């Protein structure tokens, strides 16, 4: 599984003009399940992300996790993280998991993250979503399990 984390002051996702998910200070997490990902990967990815020390402490150093800061998360599926741009000008997405596996692993990741005490809202798997956010820092980190 791949994830792209953005430390945010706020983030929202809309589908057909309606707000379906949002978070305040915390993380915007774009998630992609890959071919061959197994059922244990969502828990491993959630545990890794929950412990990443990417939030400022009182001294201004990145030394606190989302759990430490009591932040929230907006989790959005994004199969385009699987893009292969090594040939030509048109990305290929064959490394992404099939939709049924992608949905299952994406939903399991959001559930695992919430089980770690992080308030989680989600986008809508497979939908055309409008995502907005205010990147804090900016801090953007790629994580792969």
Residue of 9, 70, 80, 140 marked catalytic: 80
77 and 31 in contact (C-beta within 8 Å)?
yes
38 annotated active-site = no
55 annotated active-site = no
121 annotated active-site = no
C-alpha distances in Å from residue 4, one per residue of 14, 27, 47, 129, 135: 19, 10, 15, 16, 12
78 and 102 in contact (C-beta within 8 Å)?
no
Distance of CA 48 to the CA centre of its chain: 12
Residue of 6, 12, 78, 122 marked catalytic: 78
List the structure tokens of 22: 């949002």
Residue of 6, 79, 109, 121 marked catalytic: 79
Residue written as tokens 């150093």? 61
Active-site amino acid positions: 78-80
């Amino acid at each position: 599984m791949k994830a792209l984390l953005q430390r945010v002051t706020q983030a929202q996702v809309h589908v057909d003009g309606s707000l379906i998910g949002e978070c305040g200070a915390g993380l915007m997490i774009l998630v992609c399940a890959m071919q061959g990902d197994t059922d244990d990967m969502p828990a491993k990815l959630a545990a890794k992300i929950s412990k990443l020390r990417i939030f400022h402490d009182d001294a201004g150093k990145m030394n606190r996790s989302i759990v430490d800061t009591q932040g929230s998360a907006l989790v959005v599926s994004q199969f385009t993280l699987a893009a292969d741009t090594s040939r030509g000008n048109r990305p290929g997405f064959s490394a992404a998991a099939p939709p049924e596996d992608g949905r299952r692993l994406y939903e399991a990741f959001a559930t695992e993250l919430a089980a770690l005490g992080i308030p989680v809202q989600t986008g809508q798997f497979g939908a055309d979503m409008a995502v907005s956010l205010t990147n804090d820092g900016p801090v953007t980190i790629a994580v792969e399990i």
